[in-house]
Amino acid sequence: MGNFFDFIIEHLAQFLQFTAFANMTVGHLIMICIGLAFIYLAIAKEFEPMLLIPIGFGILVGNVAFAPGYQIGVYESGSVLNYLYFGVLQGIYPPLIFLGIGAMTDFSALISNPKLILIGAAAQLGIFGAYCLALALGFSPTEAGAIGIIGGADGPTAIFLSSKLAPDLMGAIAIAAYSYMALVPVIQPPVMKLLTTPKERLIRMKPPRAVSKTEKVIFAIAGMLLTTFIVPSGLPLLGMLFFGNLLKESGVTKRLADTAKGPMIDIVTILIGLTVGASTQATTFLTMKSIGIFALGAASFVVATFGGVMFVKIINLFLKEGNKMNPLIGNAGVSAVPDSARVSQVVGLEYDKTNHLLMHAMGPNVAGVIGSAVAAGILLSFLA
C-alpha cells in the first residue's frame, strides 16, 4: 500500500514538473502582461483590433511555459504552431495579405492626382533614418535593414523583410511595427502640427477628378511592371498587390476579388497575427535588442512623418496658388492604410471643419504601400 502511495506522489510530482507553473519565469509573466495590454488596447481603445487581438493572444499562447521536447512551442519542429509559423518564416503570408490589400485598395485618388505618389516615396525616409540609427547603435547591417523597415509602417512588409534578413528579430520587429501602426493617431499629430504653420493647415486642395475603369486597369498592370522592373526583389509583394488590384478593377473577377479581400485576407491575418505573437517567447524576445528595436521603431515613424510633411512643404514652393497641397497629408505617406490618412483628416478638421483631407490623403497612403515594398526590395537586394 505504501509503495502505491509513493508511486502516486512520485507521478504527481513528475506531472507538476510539466505544468507551466513549474517552468514559468519572470520573463514569461512580463510577456503575458504585454499580451494582455495588447488585448486591452484592442478591445477597450479599439487600436487596430484586427491585428492586436491575434497578436496579443498569440503572445499569451507563446508564453505559456512548457517543458521542452514535446512538440508544443512555435520553435519546436513538428509542432502545430511550428507548421503555422512556417508561413511567416518563409515569407508566405505577407504576399497573400498584399493580395488582399490590392483587392480592397482604390487607387483612384492616386491616379487622379499623380503628384501624390511622390509623397509616398518621401515618407520612406523613416526606413533609412532608422537603418542609419540602428547601424550607429551597433546592429549588424542585415539587422539594421530589418529594423529600418518598421519605418515603412507596413506589418506584412516588415515581416517579409525581417524573415529574410534577420529571422531572430522578426518577433520584435513585427510587434514594434504593428504597435506603432496602432499608435499612428498618437505619434503623428504632434509632428504634423510642429512642422506646419496655421496658414498651411488651411490649404484647400482641388477635388479629385473621376477616374475611368480603363485608367485603373492600366495602373494595376503598368504599376506592377514598372516597379518590379526597377526592383525585382520586391516582386512577391508588389506582384501580389497589383494582381489583387487588377482582380478588383477588371470588374470581371468579382468572386476572386471578394475572396482575396474577404475570407482569404482574414484567414491569413489570423494566422500571421497568432504565430507572430506566439513567436515572442520570453526566452527569445526579452533582450536588450528588442528594447532597442522598439526605440528605433518609434524614431522611424517620427522621421517618416517628418519626411512626408516636409516634402509637401518643399513641393508647395514650386506649385502655383490654387494647386498647392495641404502639408497635413504628408504624414499619410507612411503605408499604415487607412489610419494615417484618417489622421490627416482628423487633424485637418481641427483647423477647418469643412476641409476634408481624407480623399487627398488616401493617395500618398496607397503610394506609401508601393514605396515601402520598393524600399524592402532595395534592402533585400543590397543586404541579403
Partner 1 sequence: MQRRIKHFLSGIAVLLLIVASTNVASAQNAGDLKINEILVLNDSNTVDDFGKHTAWIEIFNSAYNTVNIGGCYLTDDLSNPTKYWIPTGDPTTKIPSRCYMVFWADNHPTRGIFHLNFDLDGAKTIALFNADGRTLIDKVEIPLENKPDITYGRPTNDSEQWVYLEKSTPGANNDYTKKKSAGESFVEFDPYGIGMTMIAMFVVFSALAILFVIYKNMGRFFIRRSVSAQKPATSEVKVAAKHSEEEMSGEVNAAIAMALYLYQNELHDFENTVLTINKVSRNYSPWSSKIYTLRKLPR
- The site for partner 1 (CB under 8 A) is made up of 110-112, 114-115, 117-118, 120-122, 124-125, 127-129, 131-132, 135-136, 140-142, 144-145, 165, 207-209, 211-212, 214-215, 218-219, 222-223, 226-227, 230-231, 345, 354-356, 358-359, 367, 370-371, 374-375, 378-379, 382-384
CA pseudo-torsion sign 323, 326, 330, 332: negative
Amino acid at 33: C
Give 112 or 196: the residue with its C-beta nearer to partner 1.
112
Q: Smaller CB distance to partner 1: residue 8 or 222?
A: 222
C-alpha cell, 16: 507538476
Nearer CB in complex with partner 1: 11/206: 206
Minimum CB separation of residue 49 from partner 1 in Å reads: 11
8 A C-beta contact, residue 161 and residue 145: yes
Handedness of CA 153, 154, 155, 161 (dihedral sign): negative
Q: How many alpha carbons lie under 13 Å from residue 221 in its C-beta half-sphere? A: 8
Could you tell me the sign of the dihedral formed by the alpha carbons of 356, 360, 366, 367, in that order? negative
Tell me whether residue 27 or residue 141 sits nearer to partner 1 (CB atom).
Answer: 141
For 190, 328, 333, the CA distances from 202, given in Å and listed in that order, are 17, 9, 19
Q: Which three cell numbers stand for residue 255?
A: 468572386
Q: Minimum distance from CB of 214 to partner 1 (Å)?
A: 7
* Helix spans in 105-230 (H): 108-112, 116-122, 125-136, 141-148, 155-165, 170-182, 184-195, 198-201, 213-230
The neighbour count for residue 43, using CB atoms within 10 Å, is 13
Minimum gap (Å) between residue 118 Cβ and partner 1:
6
Min dist CB 371 to partner 1, Å, is: 5
8 A C-beta contact, residue 116 and residue 315:
no
Nearest distance from C-beta of residue 132 to partner 1, angstroms: 4
Grid coordinates given for 216: 485603373
Residue closer to partner 1 by CB (options 270, 315) is: 315
Closest by CA position to 363, among listed 185, 103, 188, 111: 111
- In the bound state with partner 1, the residue whose beta carbon lies nearer, of 29 and 218, is 218
Distance of closest approach, residue 128 Cβ to partner 1, in angstroms: 4
The residue (of 111 and 264) whose beta carbon lies closer to partner 1 is 111
| Least distance to partner 1, CB of residue 130, Å | 9
